[in-house]
Structure 1
Amino acid sequence: MADQVLKFGIPKGSLENQTLELMRKSGWRITVGSRSYIPTTDDPALSCRILRPQEMPRYIADGSLDAGITGSDWIVENNVTLHQVESFVYAKATLTPSRWVLCVRNDSPVKQLEDLQGKRIATELVQFVTRILAERKVKAEVEFSWGATEAKVAEGIIDAAIDVTETGSSLRANGLRIVEELLISNPVLVANPAAWTDPWKQAKIRQLGILIRGALDADSRVFIKLNVAKANLEKVIALLPSITAPTISHLYPSPALKGVEWLGVETVIAEHTVRELFPKLLEAGAVGIVEFPLNKIIG
């Protein structure tokens, strides 16, 4: 049907390239022109728009979009109700969730949020911070920061900031210390509640979630296969992690095997284990180890 088109939001900025690559691995070819915010896609049932994560929740909530990927922090900031389909950690782009923290200069007397009474705070999450201050009965001036928030604190322009960080290393490098963690955020796939009640749209959104999750799960794993004499099989298997259990198959008993029973072993492992694992597999009797990249792991 002509009206069966899902309006889908892709986050602009730091997650844009990773999202487009995940979509490619998931099976969608999306092309973004250098001057266009309306990408083209090879799926006629998918209409994509590129929007800043900060405003994505608002447009999903009002029905301008059916679904999209944004940060859970911006859903909190916009104070909207959306249906969360998946929560993602981008394996090679975001090793840890983003944290919104209250930070001050090292020489600041502020030890807790309550010490900000009458102080000046800069943040991008103005509505969220305002609600937190009200809940904890702290009266302070909250102003929107367009960027360089850390520098404003370091230079003494403002008393404190509530800013986003992953490890805190940038804050420490600028002479700041973290007083308190206020919010943890991950990229999430969310849907407009009304769109989620539509059977076709829900099925399409689920399809996106399953395949993107599959691409993410595969992003940090590899498929390996190897051969091993049956006498050494248990030693090799003891070294191999897998999702369920390795696949074992018998090799054709050709004259080249000289009467020795050989087996083929296949499994999926975490990519970062390869450098430690492969030498141990060789020592345990494995031969012909082959590694393959993966696009998706489903289920």
Structure 2
Amino acid sequence: MLRIAVQSKGRLYEDSMALLAEAGIKLSSGKRTLLVPSRNFPVEILFLRDDDIPDSVASGVADVGIVGLNELLEKAKKTREVKRLGFSKCRLSLAIPKDAVYKGLEWFSGKKIATSYPGILSAFLNEKGIKADIHVITGSVEIAPGIGLADAIFDIVSSGSTLISNQLREVEVVVDSEAVLVANENLTPEKNEILEELVFRIGAVQAADSKKYILMNVPKSQLEDVLAVLPGIKSPTVMPLANDEWCSVHTVLEEKYFWEIINKLKAAGAEGILVLDIEKMIL
């Protein structure tokens, strides 16, 4: 049985559980408790606070965990990064009052910086040769300059709206963060085998993300023109239709490309274009 530590609430919890569900993992309990086994896969989910996950994985309380890279770097616990998951993206940035004149990192010399991530900030400032006073705050970091607690902040930024509402502006991005799957460094062969299957399933889910299955009818006389337009993976599938003068073309496209080429496909002779979602894709 592989034990997976997952954040107990918040956006990372929602995205993590959605990913596990898409990977075919069904939980045994309708009501969430601290530890919930799966009904159909040899894993159990341990719900923890996000900042407890790195230590729980490093110490072996959990075998693997889904955690933000920001928390993983801050806790600096010895774990093995298995896979970046592509969701819960944010960044750790330095921000200053919006009216302050900023010409570079030297601005922070001698300044007081409020943060909930003193480890990451300290390492960054030391690397850059900047001496500043780090003031640790556990919540509402963004209000610190406005009430005179600090000259600047180092905090998570997603959309940037919180900074704007507090009269701050982002000036330096230090870490680009996202959810990562991490593992204990000393898993047994049996647990590693389960983890490999889990990673395989997650990979299939990720491969299908933002991709569409495209079907269209094409006159055989214009088939080469249509195929020349398609930027799909490998070679499109061409199938005969009841009308010998037509064929059906099937391919997979990145969704972002579809609207760019739809008029080109129509101009090339494609008709009856059908776009379908893809749940999983094995490459």
TM over 0.5, shorter chain: yes
Q: Describe how 1:112-123 pairs up with structure 2 within 5 A.
A: 112-123=104-115
Is 1:244 equivalent to 2:250 in the alignment?
Answer: no
Aligned mates of 1:156, 1:85 — CA distance in 2 = 42
Change (3 A) 1:200 1:241: same
Aligned mates of 2:55, 2:227 — CA distance in 1 = 51
Matched to 1:79, the amino acid is: A
Equivalent residue, structure 2, for 1:290? 274
Change (3 A) 1:101 1:25: same
Equivalent of 1:204 in 194, 197, 204? 194
Q: Is the 8 A contact 1:121 1:158 kept in 2?
A: yes
Change (3 A) 1:174 1:212: same
SS in 1 for 2:25: coil
Q: Is the 8 A contact 1:23 1:30 kept in 2?
A: no
Aligned mates of 2:81, 2:162 — CA distance in 1 = 31
Aligned mates of 1:31, 1:230 — CA distance in 2 = 52
SS in 1 for 2:190: helix
SS in 1 for 2:197: helix
SS in 1 for 2:280: coil
Q: Is the 8 A contact 1:215 1:295 kept in 2?
A: yes
Matched to 2:79, the amino acid is: L
Query: Deviation of residue 52 (structure 1)?
Result: 2.9
SS in 2 for 1:204: helix
Equivalent residue, structure 2, for 1:30? 27
Query: Deviation of residue 111 (structure 1)?
Result: 4.4
Aligned mates of 2:161, 2:249 — CA distance in 1 = 43
Aligned mates of 1:87, 1:294 — CA distance in 2 = 21
Change (3 A) 1:220 1:107: same
Query: Deviation of residue 171 (structure 1)?
Result: 2.3
Query: Deviation of residue 119 (structure 1)?
Result: 3.1
Query: Deviation of residue 167 (structure 1)?
Result: 4.8
Equivalent residue, structure 1, for 2:81? 84
Q: Describe how 1:188-267 pairs up with structure 2 within 5 A.
A: 188-195=180-187, 198-251=188-241, 254=242, 257=243, 260-267=244-251
Aligned mates of 1:118, 1:277 — CA distance in 2 = 54
Query: Deviation of residue 289 (structure 1)?
Result: 2.2
SS in 2 for 1:43: coil
SS in 1 for 2:50: coil
Q: Deviations over 1:101-152 (max 9, x none)?
A: 1111023356444443443222121222233334445443323323322222
TM-score (norm 2): 0.88
Q: Is the 8 A contact 1:67 1:190 kept in 2?
A: yes
Aligned mates of 1:116, 1:271 — CA distance in 2 = 43
Q: Is the 8 A contact 2:211 2:252 kept in 1?
A: yes
Change (3 A) 1:107 1:286: closer
SS in 2 for 1:55: helix
Q: Deviations over 1:18-64 (max 9, x none)?
A: 22112121111236755633334223510111223322111100111
Structure 2 runs not aligned, ≥5 long: none
RMSD: 2.4
Equivalent residue, structure 2, for 1:157? 149
SS in 2 for 1:194: coil
Aligned mates of 2:23, 2:74 — CA distance in 1 = 30
Is 1:11 equivalent to 2:7 in the alignment?
Answer: yes
Q: Is the 8 A contact 1:214 1:296 kept in 2?
A: yes
Equivalent residue, structure 1, for 2:42? 45
Q: Deviations over 1:71-128 (max 9, x none)?
A: 22212111122111111213xxx5xx42211111023356444443443222121222
Equivalent residue, structure 2, for 1:21? 18
SS in 2 for 1:224: strand
Equivalent of 2:134 in 133, 142, 150? 142
Q: Is the 8 A contact 1:224 1:292 kept in 2?
A: yes
Equivalent residue, structure 2, for 1:99? 91
Aligned mates of 1:36, 1:123 — CA distance in 2 = 32
SS in 1 for 2:282: coil
Aligned mates of 2:263, 2:85 — CA distance in 1 = 33
Aligned mates of 1:55, 1:78 — CA distance in 2 = 9
Q: Is the 8 A contact 2:25 2:41 kept in 1?
A: no
Aligned mates of 2:181, 2:32 — CA distance in 1 = 26
Equivalent residue, structure 2, for 1:69? 66
Matched to 1:231, the amino acid is: S
Q: Is the 8 A contact 1:154 1:176 kept in 2?
A: no
